[in-house]
Chains A and B, each alone.
Chain A
Amino acid sequence: MGRYLLRRLLQLIPVFIGTTFLIYWLVWSVPGDPFAGKCGERPCPDSFVNKMTEKFKLDEPLVVQYGNYMKNLFQGDFGQTFGGREIGDIIATSYPNTLKLALVALAVEAVIGLTAGVLTGLRRNGFLDNLVLVSSLFLIALPIFVIGFVAQWLLGVQWGIVKPTVSSEMRLSELIVPGFVLGSASMAYIARLARTSIAENRRADYVRTAIAKGLPMRRVVGIHLLRNSLIPVVTLLGTDLGALMGGAIVTEGIFQVNGIGQQVYRAIITKESATVVSIVVVLVLVYLLMNLVVDLLYAALDPRIRYE
């Protein structure tokens, strides 16, 4: 197990470097002039250009810039915006909001998705089955901004059940609708994956054996069937959490959540290159680590893949 972990960590490093370098290159190098549009209509004054060039070491080769940047990053220095704000602060204030939203979304999609999937997997072809199938199809097919829009308009504006946008306190009750929207597509995938997994495993030999042993059906389903069927579902949930923690630009925008998605979006639009890179580096790291955790989780759940 330790060797497996080590191997995966080693694989992770080149990928991390590759992705972050790619972003760095895209943001700093490709546009040509990193200062375009920073100072309004006119080109920026030389003093400003010199100061920034010094600060961000822009006259060095790209690889050196990148190396320098990473060195600082791992010492805790996330850099500063062009205006002088500490990027680390920006991340520290906005990321927790994103995490909160992500966890709510995960909870919603797990509860609804699993319930729907398990119930329809055990008993196919009822009214519930068709309902779940059709609604999950819609949730997967609709782009998230459409769902977000409709939810916000219907529940927030038309019917006034909830507030249309989220306040700065980020109360749990306010996060349920955005969480639902954020998790909507995943909820559908989870329901369908659970459904298929259970339906397939019901015919499995080991289920037949469990029945032949005379175990009560409650146990055959609740322990033997579910324990096997839900392995892919649990790993999907884990992967999804990794994706959710990558920030939800669209959902945060629609519901005005001050999360990291919002911050990075703004930074991209205003060409705050340093901010963009720092945030993306953090997000990529989190994503890669989550993937690793999911792999370990999978190995923990399925003994057959432990001894690779």
Chain B
Amino acid sequence: MSDILVSEQSAAGASGRPSGRLLEVEDLRVEFRTRDGVAKVINGVTYHVDAGETLAVLGESGSGKSVTAQTVMGILDTPPGFVTGGQVRFHGKDMLGMSFEERRRIRGEGIAMIFQDALSALNPVFTVGFQIAEQFRVRRGMSRSDAKKRAIEMLDQVKIPNAKGRFSSYPHQFSGGMRQRAMIAMSLALDPEVLIADEPTTALDVTVQAQIMDLLAELQRERRMGLILITHDLGVVADVADRIAVMYAGRIVEEANVYDLYAKPAHPYTIGLINSIPRLDEKGQELRTIKGLPPNLMNIPPGCPFNPRCPMAQPVCREKVPPLLQVGAGRASACHFAEELVNRD
């Protein structure tokens, strides 16, 4: 019952040439159709990740970062979610056009995902060991004992002490950090090329957060995986990301490597985010916020979605949606005034 790794077939890519990109999302559009109306959750998202690099997708709740990841994995709830445009390419082949079976085989082996709340993400009635070994048994056809051995190895790799004993423990018997490690072990069992981590540390204590991020970084290095880190936490991102894509109202509003983004953000939203981080050397000053609230996705205002809250808003912003354009080497921004922002001192 073993599956043939999809990458062998799609290495040639759609056009016959090997595509350099490991995973690519292009102009993805997703909407949610509900009783109260249609919400445009993703409005033309484009990003990519290559082997060995970490892309951080940064955004507030409701920005669409998780939904994009779910669409990539193919676990979007359909209904009410519907993909209305765009492509998701893995090794150059569009997954959205694939059959269910083809897509299923990529999951776990090509692309894997870990979630925010390990307690609810793991099945409460099966042992952790069972859930890891399951991958080996079902998808690689291993025997029970072999799968168990491999599962214990995985638990070791994620640095869970007493891996052998912990094999028979249930999820609720672990602490938060250990549970997250177990989930990581489960996701890496089949040696995927891409790992999507959807807010993996949001529910954890700060110290545990650091440990988990270190673990992820180490595992990524060893396996040369592409890592997509979805988060709203600017602090987490700074340490581990190579590139950052900032999302707002279902769009990428800025994309840059981590140094450029922090040093000189090229979008008012990013500027606002970075400015809002409280700094020790500004004791006694008022906290800076971005005034207003994210837009109602059933009724997005015309023009740039950020314009109601933007301190730099001009009439053009209310009329035309700014496209995501390159504004420097390896960086892009979706703002009519991006050039000026990049070139300011």
Which A residues contact B (CB, under 8 angstroms)?
203-206, 208-216, 219, 224, 227-228, 231, 301-304
Q: Which residues of B contact A208 (CB under 8 A)?
A: 75, 115, 121
Contact of B120 among A205, A214, A219, A304 (CB under 8 A): A205
The A-contacting residues of B in range 60-116, CB under 8 angstroms, are 73-75, 77, 104-109, 112-113, 115
Complex contact A216–B125 (CB within 8 A): no
Complex contact A205–B121 (CB within 8 A): yes
Smallest CB gap from A202: residue in B: B77
Q: Which residues of A contact B74 (CB under 8 A)?
A: 211
Asked whether A214 and B109 contact (CB < 8 A) given A209-B115, A219-B138, the answer is yes
A76 to chain B, nearest CB (A): 42
Complex contact A214–B115 (CB within 8 A): no
Does more than half of chain A's interface fall in helix, strand or loop, or is it mixed? helix
Complex contact A214–B107 (CB within 8 A): yes
The 3 A-B residue pairs with the shortest CB-CB distance in the complex, in nearest-first order: A214-B107, A214-B108, A205-B120
Complex contact B115–A216 (CB within 8 A): no
Q: Which residues of A contact B134 (CB under 8 A)?
A: 213, 215
Complex contact B123–A224 (CB within 8 A): yes
CA distance A211 to B70 in the complex (A): 11
Complex contact B120–A204 (CB within 8 A): yes
Complex contact B123–A213 (CB within 8 A): no
Q: Which residues of A contact B117 (CB under 8 A)?
A: 205
Complex contact A303–B138 (CB within 8 A): no
Complex contact A214–B124 (CB within 8 A): no
**Is B167 engaged at the interface, CB distance under 8 Å to the other chain?**
no
- What are 21 residue pairs bridging A and B, where the CB atoms are less than 8 Å apart in the complex? A205-B115, A205-B117, A205-B120, A205-B121, A208-B75, A209-B183, A212-B73, A212-B75, A213-B108, A214-B104, A214-B107, A215-B138, A216-B104, A219-B138, A227-B125, A227-B126, A228-B123, A228-B125, A301-B125, A302-B125, A304-B125
CA distance A203 to B78 in the complex (A): 11
CA distance A289 to B27 in the complex (A): 63
CA distance A219 to B134 in the complex (A): 10
**Is B186 engaged at the interface, CB distance under 8 Å to the other chain?**
yes
Q: How many residues of B contact A (CB 8 A)?
A: 31
B105 to chain A, nearest CB (A): 7
Smallest CB gap from B189: residue in A: A213
Smallest CB gap from A306: residue in B: B170
CA distance A303 to B139 in the complex (A): 26
**What 5 new A-B contacts, CB under 8 Å, besides A227-B125, A228-B124, A304-B124?**
A208-B121, A210-B123, A214-B104, A215-B134, A224-B123
**Is B122 engaged at the interface, CB distance under 8 Å to the other chain?**
yes
**Is B172 engaged at the interface, CB distance under 8 Å to the other chain?**
yes
How would residues 292 to 321 of chain B score, 1 for a CB under 8 Å from any chain A CB and 0 otherwise?
000000000000000000000000000000
Q: Which residues of B contact A219 (CB under 8 A)?
A: 138
CA distance A210 to B138 in the complex (A): 12
CA distance A206 to B121 in the complex (A): 4
Smallest CB gap from B135: residue in A: A213
Complex contact B121–A203 (CB within 8 A): no
A228 to chain B, nearest CB (A): 6
CA distance A231 to B109 in the complex (A): 32
B118 to chain A, nearest CB (A): 9
Asked whether A206 and B123 contact (CB < 8 A) given A212-B107, A303-B172, the answer is yes
B3 to chain A, nearest CB (A): 8
Complex contact A303–B186 (CB within 8 A): no
Complex contact A209–B172 (CB within 8 A): no
CA distance A204 to B77 in the complex (A): 11
The A-contacting residues of B in range 125-139, CB under 8 angstroms, are 125-126, 134-135, 138-139
Q: Which has the most chain B C-beta neighbours within 10 Å: A208, A209, A227?
A: A209
Q: Which residues of B contact A304 (CB under 8 A)?
A: 124-125, 170, 172
How would residues 262 to 305 of chain B score, 1 for a CB under 8 Å from any chain A CB and 0 otherwise?
00000000000000000000000000000000000000000000
Asked whether A209 and B122 contact (CB < 8 A) given A214-B105, A304-B170, A304-B172, the answer is yes
A302 to chain B, nearest CB (A): 6
Q: Which residues of A contact B123 (CB under 8 A)?
A: 206, 209-210, 224, 227-228
Complex contact B125–A212 (CB within 8 A): no
Q: Which residues of A contact B113 (CB under 8 A)?
A: 212
Smallest CB gap from A206: residue in B: B123
CA distance A215 to B134 in the complex (A): 9
Q: Which residues of A contact B138 (CB under 8 A)?
A: 215-216, 219
Smallest CB gap from A303: residue in B: B170
Q: Which residues of A contact B112 (CB under 8 A)?
A: 212-213
